[in-house]
Structure 1
């Protein structure tokens, strides 16, 4: 910072106050203009409204303002920071959504005196100057139309040292950002400055500050100018330090640590910058050399080496997430599931690139995989496994697990209701019993109805139940639900096994019944024959009455129905 102040030299004229550093000049205009008018005036002269992107630039403005003498010390100065139309105030950002009109990138440095009004309308920033107040150089937003004093800044690639004259004459300078020539008392002038030189008894001429590729930035003619019969007794012969005269010949020399400039009369410090003078960069000034450090580093106590600045110690950086200090810089990082976008941690939608087998659900900072009905999430958190519903099924006879569901099966001649119970099919009508037919909800779950008893002996009835773990709708009639071949073959083999069991059960029930009927018929035939003989015997015994035979009344009726002619 000492170097900056040493290189700053101010001069004034009727129009403005001016300050120049080693590569820039700043002009303070006290006539108030609106934001557009002030920026246009700066642009027309090759510059733009001043930016304050660092504490160093703020110090330059402070130095410029301290050179003026005003009765009223408290006033506002416009700078080149603006909230453009259709943009909105963003309270989380250092510049609050405002932009530098110079086109410079947004800066982390800010010095707001109050929070800008929350708006999406055009607003402009000014600085309050009051050296007696603690709120010195604070930023405030306001109308862009109100007239305020303003500061223009002009950057240059280099500077030329001021000229000297060794005799009667006058030098006037015209700097690039002014149309008028002035007799400035400067040590440095920006490249592009031209000088009018008028020596007594000589024709006027001018020279220009330009880039001489082999000598750097210098004047097109170094001087000295306006030389006459020189004498060390008169103005030290024009020499800045030591004047030596031998006869009519005058020569100039310099004190220790100084060397004679190209004009032969002025002196400058010897270049004390060498490869090992400074760790980073060495610059010669009017009083000596100064070491500079790169951004993110600062000079140590020896004023030669550089030390890293821990930016993470400031609350101005990494407003969200965590801060990691690095050599000369820092890194802002976010927690897992977030990414840094324009200084803010934004949620990452992991479902865009997820490995979920079925469905993915994004959440703030994370995500989760979900499975379709009939499946459960595996241990890896991505793939889905089939749920074996038969382990806890409602099937009362047989259960067949399928991919994502299950099937209830019954023996041939039976149907399944929603509760998994098997009901016999009405053989004569080929439909369910009347008690089931009256219930639409029960009849709707039947998958297949056998047409006759014969077909029922060689087929099974299957019901696709709703999985107890899912909300899947009840299946329609004859709906196979795209079962896998393995599931289908399993159901077929079970069906064949059920048919064989049913045939065995039927045969075991019918054969004893047939035998019983045959015995009964035989007994009836024998008794009928005995009855016939008794009737013949009784017809020959007149005067006698019939005595009960002790037979079943139904057999007696049968006997009475036999014609007597056959006896």
Structure 2
């Protein structure tokens, strides 16, 4: 059982490596512990190198004549140039240095073979990256931004040699001819009928019988193998019997081919039809019994199948930063949140590169953390944003560096203009009567409280408690109780319309407020003075006319003398 578990883990890892990336190789060849795959997708040197790394390998290093021959085999029928893992990081070529100053992408310059083209002049202006072609397999420096195909190299442990099997067990058929074998190198994404060795996870298929084998730890295991790896090699479906042994089964009316134990053929009689199994049945001595696909278990009725939570087994997805996701009939290994799959590993994603924080971002394994500059604090409504903050009665104002007249203060503060540096002064909200009863000022906010016998509602209202009323209709407020008020900090942005103490514009300074008051007083005084002048002036005019009236009458009289 331990061997099966180890097989499962190794092959799942290799299969994940084979699925990386969006392009597939057009061929491959393996010898010894090395495999080389060829990609015809046009790429520059940097993109080609990244594509190989993503697949768990690196750009091919042609260090020996054997490696050169492998490259020649792969490129024999493929036109164009292909990148190999040789480049010059800096400086000019040096004919006396190893590899003329070039290095392999593995970081070394060790090589038992060199294949420089005769046209390479070795000047400082020569390109820094190297490619080869099928024409001569010579190393030709070309510009790194040029496009071409590329060759990836992979190293493995536990490689298998060519499979030699036959119906007689010695690699030959009953007629004496050798049985043909084809290979599916699913871990690297190519098929081959001519390769010297195979990496773990490769599948060998014999012809004409279709017998399958899988490579594991340097040896070939016959199908059906573990149902979790490519359905055990079964043509239809794979299931495990009560002894946890994998077996293949077929659709109703078809039976497993006894020659290879994986393919299906027409069945003259199907004993499983009478059992009406939900999934499959298997032979038990003289009879048959129902069994279920991998990832399911047999229900109590002996026919139905129910899903099994494979992720309940802690041995699933044991690698670092991997998580197990249960699926119908199985499970899937995925990267945890904040990680992405690179090759066969889950690598931390640096979320800070997308600038999620308003001020400072610190990347953490699987996530990130935001912080604020001095004089700011985290916005409680949005952890990635910051807002001005002052922990004292007076703080320096934050002004626009390009316009010193534009300054800002935290909520609950008012700007005071000064000759040297503007300051933010705490607003005493308690002076405005925002609380029904008790009020205590705080930096940037305030707190309302109620007297004993009252309950604070909505942060500022005090409502009398019904159970505190005495028999005479009075309240406990006059009883002399020494209970202290229960202060509740009122939000600087109250949810209710009243009293909203801190919604006053922070840019209004104390000097500006005094100016408005003085101007208002001057206007009122002017109006009163004008009214007074108009009233008194009218009275004086009337009195003057009255005084002048007798004089007009006196002047208008005639002196009459008597004749007698």
Structure-1-length-normalised TM-score: 0.29
| Structure with greater contact order relative to length (CA < 8 Å, sep ≥ 6) | 2
Which structure has the larger Rg?
A: 1
Structure-2-length-normalised TM-score: 0.29
